[in-house]
Amino acid sequence: MRDNANQPQNTANERNWYALLTRHQHEKSIALALANKNHEVYVPLYRSARQWKDRRKQIWLPLFPCYVFIREGMDRQLQIVSTPGVIRIIAWGGRPAIIPQSQLDAVRQIVESPFPIETHPFIQFGDRVRVKSGPLMGLEGILTRTKGVARLVVTVEMLGRSAAVEIDALNVERVGPFLVPRAARRISLPA
């Protein structure tokens, strides 16, 4: 039970949402198949312009490729995972992981907004990143946040020294995770 301590708890009136890992480009067909089996499913889609040699076309793509959200139905797991294209149910601590309703509501809100939307890689502060464009293009370091401002920290390990520069967090791509040792997590570095 301790493994699920970080799992959100639902109220009596809410039914849980879960995530399914799917084969690439099977999200819509899986959602349709599960809906035909009386499951409530959600695949957030966004409009994307694609250019071919002879034409330009607007198509609908999954906001989270290879994932379908399903509400309840964990009592019918075999029926779910035996649906063609479903790889597995996303789990946490050996149990299907609950997706908080608030997170799906936020996704629905941005998908239904009139603003342009696109996928974005998941980047956390503490990740090793590379600058994608601008005068610092190609520079790698650790993404941090101090007083609400994103910074790129570059380290000279041999000297045990670092320097930080303000950066637009949307202008970086993840290179790899930076694992901070447990003891160092408690240390607060000066800005």
pLDDT top residue among 10 and 105 = 105
| Residue 65 exposure: Cα atoms within 13 Å on the Cβ side | 9
3-state DSSP percent of the chain in helix, strand and coil, to 5? 20, 35, 45
Q: What is the torsion angle, in degrees rounded to the nearest 10, for the CA atoms of residue 71, residue 24, residue 114 and residue 108?
A: 10
Co-location of 39 and 101 in the same domain: yes
Q: How many CB atoms lie within 10 A of CB 156?
A: 9
Query: Which region among 50-64, 126-140, 154-168, 171-185 has the lowest average model confidence (pLDDT)?
Result: 171-185
**Is there a domain that residue 31 lies in?**
yes
7 band by pLDDT with thresholds 50, 70 and 90: low
pLDDT top residue among 189 and 87 = 87
**Is there a domain that residue 44 lies in?**
yes
pLDDT for position 13: 55
Co-location of 135 and 103 in the same domain: no
Co-location of 30 and 90 in the same domain: yes
pLDDT top residue among 182 and 95 = 95
Q: Into how many domains does the chain fold? A: 2
CATH value at residue 35: 3.30.70.940
Co-location of 59 and 19 in the same domain: yes
Where among 112, 138, 162 does a domain terminate?
112
% of the chain at pLDDT higher than 90 = 46
Phi, psi angle pair for 144, to nearest 5°: -130, 170
Instruction: Please say if the pLDDT value at position 139 is more than 50.
Output: yes
Co-location of 16 and 76 in the same domain: yes
32 band by pLDDT with thresholds 50, 70 and 90: very high
Co-location of 42 and 99 in the same domain: yes
Co-location of 107 and 14 in the same domain: yes
CA atoms of 118 and 125, how far apart (whole Å)? 21
CA 8 to chain centre: 17
Tell me the pLDDT tens digit for each residue of 70-103. 999 999 999 999 999 999 999 999 999 999 999 8
DSSP β-bridge partners for residue 37: none
Instruction: Please say if the pLDDT value at position 167 is more than 70.
Output: yes
**Is there a domain that residue 119 lies in?**
no
Co-location of 43 and 85 in the same domain: yes
**Is there a domain that residue 122 lies in?**
no
Structural domain boundaries, residue 154: 128-185
Co-location of 58 and 146 in the same domain: no
Handedness of CA 43, 45, 50, 52 (dihedral sign): positive
pTM of model > 0.85: no
pLDDT for position 170: 85
Residue with tokens 């994307």: 48
Q: Rounded mean pLDDT of the chain?
A: 83
CA atoms of 42 and 84, how far apart (whole Å)? 17
Quick check: helix, strand or coil at residue 62? strand
**Average pLDDT of span 153-169:** 80
**Average pLDDT of span 124-141:** 88
Instruction: Please say if the pLDDT value at position 181 is more than 50.
Output: no
**Is there a domain that residue 67 lies in?**
yes
